[in-house]
Structure 1
Amino acid sequence: METKKQNKGGRPALDDPAKHRHVLYLNERDNARFLAQWEQSGVESKSRFIAARIFGEPFRVVKVDKKAVDYCTRLTEFYAQYRGVAVNYNQIVKALHSNFSEKKALAFLYKLEKATQELKEINAQVIALTNECKEQWLPK
C-alpha cells in the first residue's frame, strides 16, 4: 500500500532558503546615499539591492521623467478628443443638410471649414512639438 503524504499547509519549502542575516550600521550621510542609490535602482527589496552590490551585479538606474510622462498623457487625451471630432464631423454635415436649407447649410459648412483649418494648424503644432520632444528627451 502507498502511504499518502499529509499536507502540512502553508507555503512550500524553498530548496535553498536564505537563513543567514547580516546587520549593517550607517551614519546619516551614508544612509542618505544608500537610499538614493536604492531608489534609483528600481529594486523593490533593499536586501536584494545590497546582495547585488556585494556580488558585483550590474547597477541598473531607472529614471522616470515626470514631465515626459505628463506630456504623453496629455497628448493621448488630446488625440482621443481629436478622433472624437473626426467621428462627429460626418454627423454634423448630415445634420446640417437634413435640418437646414441649402443656403444656411452652406453658411454653417463654411464656418465648420474654418474651424477645421484651425484644428489642422493646431495638430501640426502638436506634431512638431512632439517630434522636438522626442529628439531632445527620449533616449536613442
Structure 2
Amino acid sequence: MKEETNSRSKWSKGGRPIKNDPAKNCVMVRFSDQEYAKFLSMYEESGVYAKSIFVKARVFNESFRVIKTDEGTLKYVAKLTQLHAQFRAVGVNYNQVVKQLKSNFSEQKALALLYKLEKITLELVTTQQKIIALCEEFKQRFF
C-alpha cells in the first residue's frame, strides 16, 4: 500500500493545492464587552480584511498601518480622473477634426476653422492650468 500523500497527489485532478504547512491549530480568546469594543476599533482602523490575520499580527508583534479615508478626497480624485478621461477624449477628437479639415475643406476655409479651433484650445489650456494649480493647492493643504 502506497503512502497517502503519494496516492493523493498522484490521483488528485483538481481542487485547491495542498499547503506545505497548513494552519490547523486553533487558539480561542474571550474578551469582555469593553475589550471587544476596543479590539473591534483597532481591527477596523488597521484595514486588515480578516480578524484572524489581525490577531496573528498582534501576537507576533508585526506592525500595522492605519488607513483613514477622507470622503472629500475620494470624490476629488474621482472627479479628477473623469476630467483626465475627458481631456484624452478631446485630444483624440482634436486629431480627427484636423484630419477632416485637411481632407474635406479648401486651404483657406480650413485655416479659418483651425483659427477658431486654436482659440478654443487656448481656453482649454487655461482651464487645464487652473486645474493643475488647484491640484497643487490641494497637495499643499493635505500632504
2:30 is matched with 24
- TM-score, normalised to structure 1, is 0.71
SS at match of 1:6: helix
- The amino acid that maps onto 1:92 is V
2:83 is matched with 78
Higher relative contact order (CA 8 A, sep 6+): 1
4+ runs deviating over 4 angstroms:
8-11, 100-104
Establish whether residue 133 from structure 1 lines up as the match of residue 138 from structure 2.
yes
Structure 1 CA distance for aligned equivalents of residues 64 and 88 of structure 2: 43
- Cα offset, 1:120, TM superposition: 0.9
Runs of at least 5 residues in structure 2 that lack an aligned partner in the other structure: none
Question: Where is the helix percentage greater, Structure 1 or Structure 2?
Answer: 2
1:7 is matched with 8
* Alignment match of 2:66 (pick from 51, 61, 64): 61
- TM-score, normalised to structure 2, is 0.70
- Cα offset, 1:14, TM superposition: 5.4
- Cα offset, 1:92, TM superposition: 1.7
* Alignment match of 2:125 (pick from 120, 123, 127): 120
Runs of at least 5 residues in structure 1 that lack an aligned partner in the other structure: none
* Alignment match of 1:40 (pick from 31, 37, 45): 45
Give CA-to-partner distance per residue, 1:92-139, whole Å, 9 cap, x none: 23433544455544443333222112111110011111122222223x
Structure 1 CA distance for aligned equivalents of residues 85 and 132 of structure 2: 15
Q: 1:104 to 1:23 in 2, by over 3 A?
A: same
Aligned residues: 136
1:93 is matched with 98
